[in-house]
Structure 1
């Protein structure tokens, strides 16, 4: 007998489950004080509607708009049981349910959505695997960003100055705080440091629905590296004039600050106070910012032998050194080099900019097309070559050993007629086929 009640219970459950309440949205995040509309709908008219928000239950009537939670929708007759929450409260974080009568039977139908009342996280923390203040180029660097006590968990993004970091970002980990509905998010970053990282700010940025703007925590990276050249090969200083002062300027990168010395013939010149009549003066490297330095040698008066000489520059710091060969030129600096030295290409000793190279390529293409058109026209007797063709006849009885006419004459016009028969091709030369003599 106990089997019958169980079967009846399963039947009622199936009937109830067949009557589904559609609720939207199913999840929502709102700040305290925000507005929220929760809409429940069934495919048949209803005569009552209730909604449970937090610990309170509200009977929703289209005619009553004075409560904190009021009716929203086109009407009960359309099966709509909507609730407008005018001002979200902190204590309403959790489930919101709507309750409607069934189309048949006596068991009310319920649908539930999840409301998350946003709570801003605390200030983010940036934790590194070491307390050292500076790093060497090539060092492996790890950092962790922690954004605690948010509801929901915050979103974390990484930047190097204003540039978003996408490589070296590990999977974020979200952990609930014990005894609380707040969540802490943490994310690791790993990176091999380069000279380009020096002086830049590593930023962890936390964004959250309850914040008016993102919260940042940052650390400036100090990366040390030996001197580095800005261009490969020998350096040429242009625009110097015989008999006038000449300045040899070379830009290098280094951290820490470099020292420099020049070799002029047999003379080694280092930055130091010089006499007023010194022919050659070396200046201390001038910091341009961002690890860039300008190293300068001054020639009080440029002589012809100075143009024929190679100057050698050695730049060093405690991590290493770099050497440069420098030549002088009285010619003006090429325009392409002035525009953008990074696009210079040395072709057999001639420096060409990207614009000049593109022009040369276009000119070569035009020339190739023109030559192809001329060859095609000549081969097919078209256009300006159309009038050059003429017919060449070989009279009957002519000596078969007689010289053949020129190739162009044999080819003839586009549709030639031959009184002496057809030609037989042999290789690249066409010979007339000799017919046997026929008695008249």
Structure 2
């Protein structure tokens, strides 16, 4: 309880005299053996400078530069009480205080900073489900524990080289030891597993000031899922570039875990891979693993015939979790420019004929409209013709015959009669 009046007296003295000790830094983290500089400043000439580090009090003088703790700064006459710790020790973890006498009185002014001596944590521990395999869509939860570090370690999560961020990560929690300031940190991760996660490595990485490099704990994920197409959308695939008379290879890539069983349907024949038809002209090859759950499924035609181009081949890939069915067509045309095997709709003969007939009908309609307009026929018949009527003529006089009206494109001028490419003299208007 005696400390309470002393602290109150120190606080009162600082308020009355307006003297405050400014200490820099307020907190520092250092490894054992590293150096640290702490500076205290007042706005008057200091007569003495004392620092308390751990359980030891150091009286610092500018001229004394021997030992692990020495004076640092421009001088006491500048109001600077500075300390340079050349080699930090483990036992110095805690508060460091500087003590400076006031201009008047005997109670020293004091300021305190926090020194955290970094202590390497234990190896990270990854805690997760005991099962070794999961299904696509399963909710996977794991926890990373990094114990007894000072300060608390930083935890980062990765799937292979991809950092996990956002809602998949929970806020880390810490638990400290009051006697040693050592801290244990825990963090959980939750992820809905996808097919792409199969074979990837989930890693908990621990980073800390006392470590030269990070430490890791990890486990590999095994995710099971039904076969699925990877090279195109939809359930139809067209393979281009085959030639009549040559060998034809129908290649389809799927993802599957566990591996798929494969069968091909060609007309009324069903071939379960690996197998071939009776005369050996069609062979269903066994699935070829490409790694990471990818498989190449191949049907070989010994010799491509015209009827082969006209038929559809049906592929079925099956495992314990489901199946994928694909209708495969082949084409002797060159492969489209964009990408490898593409799925799409290949126009048959009927569709091509329909397009050609539609274009021809449109051209005929346009021609008829132009012809009717040019010859004043059909819907363009009865268009009014403007002719010159002599002055004083009866307004009900008949118009000249149609065959006599030529060159009437400009009705505002007198009619000119053209014969053999020459313009004869204009005939005078006569009364009817």
1:226 corresponds to: 226
2:131 corresponds to: 132
Check the 8 A contact 1:16/1:107 in 2, yes or no.
Answer: no
Q: Does 1:160 align with 2:159?
A: yes
The answer to which of 38-47 and 239-248 deviates more is 38-47
- The 5 Å alignment of 1:11-410 reads 12-13=12-13, 15=15, 18-128=18-128, 130-166=129-165, 167-177=167-177, 179-230=179-230, 231-233=232-234, 234-272=236-274, 274=276, 278-338=280-340
SS in 1 for 2:121: coil
SS in 1 for 2:307: helix
TM-score, structure 2 normalization: 0.75
Cα distance between partner residues in 1 of 2:22 and 2:274: 85
- Runs of 4+ more than 6 Å apart: 346-349
Instruction: Tell me by how many angstroms 1:183 deviates.
Output: 0.8
Deviations 1:278-313 (A, max 9, x none): 100011111111111110000011111111111000
Q: CA, structure 1 residues 65+303, in 2 after alignment: closer, same or farther (shift >3 Å)?
A: same
Which sections of structure 1, spanning at least 5 residues, go unmatched?
Answer: 350-400, 410-440
Deviations 1:362-400 (A, max 9, x none): xxxxxxxxxxxxxxxxxxxxxxxxxxxxxxxxxxxxxxx
Q: CA, structure 1 residues 155+9, in 2 after alignment: closer, same or farther (shift >3 Å)?
A: closer
SS in 1 for 2:77: helix
Instruction: Tell me by how many angstroms 1:348 deviates.
Output: 10
2:369 corresponds to: none
Q: CA, structure 1 residues 133+122, in 2 after alignment: closer, same or farther (shift >3 Å)?
A: same
Q: CA, structure 1 residues 16+224, in 2 after alignment: closer, same or farther (shift >3 Å)?
A: farther
Cα distance between partner residues in 2 of 1:304 and 1:30: 80
Deviations 1:66-116 (A, max 9, x none): 121011111111111110000000110111111112133332111111001
Instruction: Tell me by how many angstroms 1:194 deviates.
Output: 0.9
Q: CA, structure 1 residues 43+347, in 2 after alignment: closer, same or farther (shift >3 Å)?
A: farther
Instruction: Tell me by how many angstroms 1:276 deviates.
Output: 10
1:414 corresponds to: none
Q: CA, structure 1 residues 10+220, in 2 after alignment: closer, same or farther (shift >3 Å)?
A: closer
Cα distance between partner residues in 2 of 1:11 and 1:29: 28
1:386 corresponds to: none
CA RMSD, Structure 1 to Structure 2 (Å): 2.8
Check the 8 A contact 1:36/1:85 in 2, yes or no.
Answer: yes
Q: CA, structure 1 residues 229+243, in 2 after alignment: closer, same or farther (shift >3 Å)?
A: same
TM-score, structure 1 normalization: 0.74
Cα distance between partner residues in 2 of 1:9 and 1:299: 101
Cα distance between partner residues in 2 of 1:150 and 1:278: 70
Deviations 1:336-355 (A, max 9, x none): 234x96xx9x7997xxxxxx
